Amino acid sequence: MEQHLFEQSPLATLNPASLPCHKVLNYQLNGIGDLPNVKVKSSLLDATVDSVYSSILNYILPIGCVHIDSINHLNEPYSVSDNTENNGYARHQALKIKSTSLSVQRFLKHSDQSSMSAAHRRLEAFKIKQAFTELTEYFKSHERFVLFINRSLANCAQQFAFCFIHRISHGNINNDALSIDGKWQNNDACSFYSNLDKTTFSADKSYKEAHDAAAIFIKWVCYYNSFNGTDIEANELSEYFSSLYRKYIEYYAVTLIGLTPDELPLNTNIRSDFTDSIRRLYEQDPSESQLIAFITKTFINWQLSKSDSSPSCSEFVGPDCASKLILDSVLYSEQQHYTEQSILTRCAIIALRKLLFGHLFKNQHIRQSLLVQLNNRRLDTIAGLSEQYENCAKWLYGSEDSLVHSVIFSNAKLLVYFVPITQSYVVEHFNKGHKYSFLNARELSIYLQGQSKLDFNLPGALVWKNLIKLINILIEIESCQLA
C-alpha cells in the first residue's frame, strides 16, 4: 500500500493554529478540530504509530482502516516542556493527511461539554444541525438512512468479531474512532494481545469494545430521530448488531486452527458446537502458550483418533470432539487436492505463525521501535520501518499464501515456506541466490539451526527461537502422521 511519511509540502512550515479546515481537495487534515476549543493536537510519535497501524490493519482486518496518505512534521514542540534538544522529534506536533472520511463525531456533541464556553456550545449545535440537514438531503429518505446504518453495523460486527478471534484491540473507542461506514481510524492506541502487555486482552474487554462501537451508531440514530422527528427503533438495531456479531464470531472461529472461513458451510451444528467450545476457551483468557498447546493438541488428537486403538468421537469431550468434527469436514472436502498430512501441516502453519510472531504488532513494541528513530531525528528511516511491518502483516495473515505454498517465515534476507502438493519445505536465500528443499520438518530444523540467528530478524526483534518452536511443533505433528 503506497504511503508517504513526512511528505515535503508547504503545510510543514505552517503554525498549527493557522490551519483553517479539515479538508483539502480529496484529503483530510487530521489533527485540527472544527471548533476553537476542540482542537486535537497529535504528537509525531502518536501520528506515526497511527500510520503504521493503519497500514498493518488494512492488510488484516476485513473492513479495514481509513488510509493515512502522509504525515507532516510541524517542527513545533507538543508543549513547552517538550521544547528541548534532547527530546528529538517524538513530542513535536504533527498533521496527518488521510483520505477523506466522515466520522460519527460530526453528528454528536463533544463529550466534554464543560470545557467549552457557551459560545462554542452554540457553534457546535449549529454545526451538528447543519450536518444533519446535509445528511437528510443526501439520503433523500429515512429508509435509505436505515439501510446505511444497517450496513455500518454489519461492518462493525464483522470487524470486531474478527478482532475477538484474533485478539486485536482498537484501544480507544470514542465518537471519532470509526468512520460512518465502520472503518477504524485514530489507531495509535491499537494493539495485538501479548503476554507481555501490562493490560491483558480479555474476552470481556473485546465484547465491550465491540458493543461500545455499536452504541456510537445507535446514538447517531437517536440524534437523527431527534432532528428529523422519526421513530427509528434503536433497540432493534442493537439486537441486529448483537445477532450479526455472534454469527461473525462463528464465521471466523475456525481461523483459530488455520482454516479458511468459507471452507465449511455456515449454520451447521458442527460449526456451532466448535464456536461454543472456542468461546468457552476464550472466557478463560488463555495465554499464547495455552492457545498454541490447544492448536497442537487439536491436530495430534485428530491423527490419533484415526488409529484403531483410539477412542471414537463420542468418547471425546468439549473442544476435542468439536475440533475433530470440524477437521473431518475440511479434510473430506479437500482430499481431492491434497493429502490429509498436507492439509494438517498447512493449517498448523497458518494458525501457529500468528501466535508465535504476532507480538511484533504489540503497541509497546511498535511504539518503542518508532521512538528510537524519532528521538534520533531519523525521519528518513520511518517509511522503511513501516514497510517492514506491512510486509510482516502480509505473510502472517495469509496475503502471500497461495495454492502451492504457505509461508512459514519471511524477511528481506530469506523466505521459508511449505509446499502442500509435494509435502516438502523450501528455503530461499535472496542475498545468496540459493534455494534448498527439504523432505520433512526435521530436515528443515537441522538446516535452520546451522544458519546465523541474525538472519531471522523482523522489525525490532530476533525471532529465531519462535521459528524453531514452530518447526518443532510441525515435527511433532509429522511424527504422529508417520506413527
Residues 364-386 have pLDDT tens digits of 999 999 999 888 888 888 889 99
Residue 232 shares a structural domain with residue 262: no
Task: Give pLDDT, residue 307.
Answer: 65
Asked if 439 and 345 count as a contact pair (C-beta separation under 8 A), the reply is: no
Regarding whether 429 and 294 lie in a shared domain, the answer is: yes
Q: Distance between CA atoms of 154 and 247, rounded to whole angstroms?
A: 11
The closest alpha carbon to 197, from 174, 177, 168, belongs to 168
**Residue 77 within a domain:** no
Q: Are residues 242 and 262 in the same domain?
A: no
> Could you tell me which residue, 300 or 310, shows the higher pLDDT?
300
186: alpha, beta or left? (left if phi > 0; alpha if psi -120 to 50): left
Give pLDDT, residue 416.
Answer: 98
54 within a domain of the structure (yes/no) = no
- Higher pLDDT: 181 or 77? It is 181
pLDDT at residue number 15: 37
3 state DSSP class of 195: coil
- Above 80 in pLDDT, residue 388? yes
In the prediction, which pLDDT does 360 show? 92
Q: What confidence category does residue 321 fall into, taking pLDDT thresholds of 50, 70 and 90? A: confident
Average pLDDT, the chain: 83
Band the pLDDT of 242: cuts 50, 70, 90.
very high
In whole angstroms, give the CA distance from residue 323 to residue 313.
10
For residue 194, what pLDDT is reported?
63
The predicted structure's pLDDT at residue 33: 41
Q: Give me the domain span that covers residue 193.
A: 103-247
Number of structural domains in the chain: 2
- Domain presence at residue 93: no
pLDDT higher than threshold 60 for residue 84: no
Element (H, E) at 42: strand 42-43
Q: Which of 20-29, 212-221, 356-365, 466-475 has the lowest mean pLDDT?
A: 20-29
Summarize the confidence of residues 332-345 as an average pLDDT.
80
Domain end residue (candidates: 216, 247, 278): 247
> What is the four-CA torsion angle of 243, 247, 248, 254, rounded to 10 degrees?
160
Same domain flag for 285 and 425: yes
User: Which whole number is the average pLDDT over 37-48?
Assistant: 69
16: pLDDT strictly greater than 50? no
Going by pLDDT thresholds of 50, 70 and 90, the confidence category of residue 403 is confident
355 shares its domain with 465: yes
DSSP-based three-state secondary structure for 378: coil
Q: Mean pLDDT throughout 145-155?
A: 96
Same domain, 195 and 241: yes
**Residue position matching grid coordinates 534538544:** 85
Question: Is 280 found in the same domain as 213?
Answer: no
Q: What cell numbers appear for 72 in the block?
A: 507532516
Question: What mean pLDDT do residues 127-141 have?
Answer: 90
| 210 and 125 within one domain | yes
Identify whether residues 243 and 263 lie together within a single domain. Answer: no
* Residue that terminates a domain, selected from 197, 216, 247: 247
In angstroms, rounded to a whole number, what is the distance separating the alpha carbons of residues 145 and 37?
A: 31
pLDDT of residue 67: 87
Residue 35 lies in a domain: no
What confidence score (pLDDT) does residue 480 get? 81
Question: Does residue 167 share a domain with residue 190?
Answer: yes
Domain boundary, last residue among 247, 278, 309? 247
Provide the percentage of residues in the chain whose pLDDT is more than 70: 83
Q: Is the pLDDT of residue 313 over 60?
A: no
Do 281 and 314 share a domain, yes or no?
A: yes
**What confidence tier does 63 reach under pLDDT thresholds 50, 70, 90?**
very high
Q: Where are the beta strands (DSSP E) in 326-432?
A: 406-410, 414-419, 424-429
Indicate if 267 and 138 belong to the same structural domain.
no
Angle at 32 between CA 129 and CA 100, to 5 degrees: 70
